[in-house]
């Protein structure tokens, strides 16, 4: 057996406690509530709880900025056709780092942290969040394998009030 360091022991301990009274087995992995969600990786977002959903209810795809990337579209196509997704929410949020710095600023910050050149890196910064949201929702609505098969909407999540506002 590989000789791993102990860097993750706290999490493995927590996992063993989690598995002790595990009652989520035998589930087929479909979206029980028919929900697909694209949102940001931000730690202030609790995706299931903010929508009143429970374990098993939604297929969730997260990335910096809640962007509808080619990978997000792949996930949604699978969700719609194989995993019971019927309604799709695209949910960026207020005070998102991806919408409050420029690409150059992020490169500079990452380069400084890494102690090496990061000028080649790309972070997909968003300059106009609501315009980007409209474009991203349109990408889902016009996708040839999604189109009319699911209802699609765009919202902004306020990380200070917990409220969602629909914009698209
Ligand atoms: Zn964010």
State the distance from the centre of ligand 1 to the C-alpha of 16, rounded, in angstroms.
31
State the distance from the centre of ligand 1 to the C-alpha of 44, rounded, in angstroms.
9
User: Which of 16, 14, 50, 15 lies closest to 35 in space, CA to CA?
Assistant: 50
State the distance from the centre of ligand 1 to the C-alpha of 105, rounded, in angstroms.
16
pTM higher than 0.85 for the full model? yes
State the distance from the centre of ligand 1 to the C-alpha of 146, rounded, in angstroms.
25
Instruction: List the chain domain ranges.
Output: 28-97+128-166
- Spatial separation of the C-alpha atoms in residues 165 and 150, rounded to whole Å: 20
State the distance from the centre of ligand 1 to the C-alpha of 78, rounded, in angstroms.
24
pLDDT recorded at residue 25: 86
Express each pLDDT in 6-58 by its tens digit. 999 999 999 999 999 998 888 889 999 999 999 999 999 999 999 999 999 99
What is the band of 107 on the pLDDT scale with cuts at 50, 70, 90?
Answer: very high
From residue 100, alpha-carbon distances to 30, 54, 94 in Å are: 35, 31, 9
State the distance from the centre of ligand 1 to the C-alpha of 61, rounded, in angstroms.
13
- Spatial separation of the C-alpha atoms in residues 34 and 66, rounded to whole Å: 19
For ion ligand 1, residues whose CB falls within 5 Å: 40, 42, 96
Express each pLDDT in 117-145 by its tens digit. 999 999 989 999 999 999 999 999 999 99
Q: For the chain, what is the largest distance between any 2 Cα atoms, rounded to a whole number of angstroms? A: 52
State the distance from the centre of ligand 1 to the C-alpha of 126, rounded, in angstroms.
10
Domain 28-97+128-166, second-level architecture: 3-Layer(aba) Sandwich (3.40)
């Amino acid at each position: 057996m590989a000789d791993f360091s102990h860097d993750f022991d706290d999490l493995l301990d927590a996992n063993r406690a989690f598995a002790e009274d595990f009652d989520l087995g035998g589930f087929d992995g479909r979206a029980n509530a028919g929900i697909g969600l694209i949102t940001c990786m931000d730690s202030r977002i609790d995706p299931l709880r903010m929508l009143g959903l429970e374990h098993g209810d939604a297929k969730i795809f997260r990335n910096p900025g809640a962007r509808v990337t080619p990978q997000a579209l792949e996930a949604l196509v699978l969700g719609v056709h194989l995993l019971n997704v019927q309604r799709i929410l695209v949910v960026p949020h207020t005070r998102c780092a991806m919408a409050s710095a420029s690409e150059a600023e992020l490169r500079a910050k990452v380069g400084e942290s890494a102690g090496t050149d990061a000028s080649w890196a790309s972070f997909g910064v968003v300059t106009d969040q609501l315009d980007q949201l409209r474009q991203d929702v349109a990408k889902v609505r016009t996708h040839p394998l999604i189109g009319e098969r699911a209802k699609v909407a765009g919202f902004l999540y306020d990380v200070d009030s917990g409220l969602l506002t629909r914009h698209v």
